[in-house]
Amino acid sequence: MNKSTFSLNDTAWVDFYQLQNPRPEENYTFPAIIICPGGGYQHISNRESDPLTLAFLAQGYQVFILNYTVMNKGTDYNFLSQNITEVQAVFALINQHHEQWQINPEHVFLLGCSAGGHLAAWYGNSEQIYRPKGVILCYPVTSFTFGWPSDLSHFNFEIENISEYNISEKVTSATPPTFIWHTADDASVPIYNSLKYCDRLSKHQVPFEAHFFEAGPHGISLANRTTAPSDDYCLESVHRWLSWASDWLERQIKN
């Protein structure tokens, strides 16, 4: 595994973790996944970064961790639309270097957790040159009016039109296939965010797979010892999402 870092602008960069090709076939390529960690647009969550990277590397994916612009990077302006251009920049990098990096550009997925799920879903529902093959949303925020944030003072900038950030209402028939999961007692980002998003996916006949777990705190990530800050975050029943997501990814690759 090699790691490379690419600057996207003054407040964003992407870390690329590259598998070394173990396959004897000439020009063999891997699928890739871009991960948008959570952190409430305030910081970048560590437990949704490297642990997820290692998990998907083990499944045979080239992995990109997007360290997008957030509030603790000294910003005092509304950078949310800028985040979309940062995701696009990662896709552009992959498109430019896919042969060198042994990536099939038709098999690039986007994963987001919490606020990173908001970003991933937003990108997936916007008109872009580069489109993800599919999107994985882990306990995502899908609107700023569904229980997170508790009020807009969470942001250190003014939001003029809150409806612009209701990603559920941006779903169309062109939205990529989606894998989504959430825990029912999430006290930070209510499960309604995911339920409403699934409702919109269904209405627009977008293929999706959803899993809802009875219990588990917000930001549970892999739900095992590699990401658990306490025993409450270590739940074998929730950890199953990873194997189910891996199966879903393989089905998308074969489609």
Question: What is the per-residue pLDDT across 69-124, written as a single tens digit (0 to 9) for each?
Answer: 999 999 989 999 999 999 999 999 999 999 999 999 999 999 999 999 999 999 99
Domain boundaries, the chain: 2-254
Closest of 115, 111, 114, 113 to residue 124, by C-alpha: 111
Question: What is the maximum alpha-carbon separation in the chain?
Answer: 55
pLDDT above 70: residue 24: no
User: What pLDDT was estimated at residue 22?
Assistant: 64
What is the pTM assigned to this prediction? 0.96
pLDDT tens column, 50-72: 999 999 999 999 999 999 999 99
DSSP helix/strand/coil, 155: coil
Residues with Cβ < 8 Å from 254, sequence gap 6 or more?
A: none
Distance CA(137)–CA(246), nearest Å, equals 13
**Topology (CATH level 3) of domain 2-254:** Rossmann fold (3.40.50)
Q: How do residues 158-176 score in pLDDT, each as one tens digit?
A: 998 999 999 999 999 999 9
Q: How far are the Cα atoms of 123, 159, 163 from residue 37, in angstroms, in the given order?
A: 14, 22, 23
